[in-house]
Amino acid sequence: MPELPEVETVRMGLLPAMEGAVIARAEVNRPDLRWPLPERMAERLTGARVARLRRRSKYILADLSSGETLLMHLGMSGRILISGDPLGQFLHDHPAPEKHDHVVFHMDNGTRVTFNDPRRFGAMALMPTEGAEAHPLLAALGPEPLGNHFHEAHLVAALKGRGMPVKSALLDQKIVAGLGNIYVCEALFRGGIHPARKAGRIGKARVAALVPLIRTTLEEAIRAGGSSLKDYRRADGELGYFQHSFDVYGREGLPCRREGCDGTVRRIVQSGRSSFYCPACQR
């Protein structure tokens, strides 16, 4: 599933095509994705201007001139692709419609924005913009890892006394929003922390040091356009390439990349997810 860097990369790709533009016509080709689509969705979106395009955790939020906010989640296989940009920022003309083009936004600037999702694990919702943060999908989310509310004191307090593995704690969206399996593995490697170590038994200094490491890992991934694994594509249809910089994720059996370490990357399964780490330098 796309994580924060992939979703942020898609959001940034959509900015020149959607923000400030009017949805001249919304096309909704099925009644549901992961759950039913909003009632009269096409009618409610058509004619609305996208005042602001933002991200919260792994959700893209489009604040509309109609007073509603469109929430979009990519799910496991969802892609949002742009075609026909009149400014020439995207390479693709309008392609022929595909079977899994479930929602299409025809923008007044000539751009077409298509939500394609073969497995239909993605989602869309409409909510009043005022009070949107209180929506059930957003209300319980923790601070954004790239925002001011995610800081050393917060993470130290959030992990204090926790008996769960630190990997599981960092995946808890109530503790920090948007982190996923890939980037938690990478950040823990950079911090030299074993993913199975109990969160509450890690010293304050080591926990505090994780905050800038998490931020740096995410920022580097965003600059690289995210990580292309399986179905992920950027909004312009191109692949991200941060996967080429992984230190541990997906590198089971390969040598540790840390200078001076002669360890070999291992994989364990935690709560049904693979965790990759170096046993020699992660304790």
Residues annotated as part of the active site: 2-3, 58, 273
Interior CA angle at 57 toward 232 and 211, to 5°? Answer: 105
d(CA 56, CA 153): 22
Q: Are 210 and 155 in contact (CB under 8 A)?
A: yes
Phi-psi group of 192: left, alpha or beta (phi > 0 → left; psi -120 to 50 → alpha; rest → beta): left
Interior CA angle at 270 toward 233 and 168, to 5°? Answer: 80
Phi-psi group of 275: left, alpha or beta (phi > 0 → left; psi -120 to 50 → alpha; rest → beta): beta
Compute the CA torsion angle 253, 255, 258, 262 (nearest 10 deg): 110
Phi-psi group of 143: left, alpha or beta (phi > 0 → left; psi -120 to 50 → alpha; rest → beta): beta
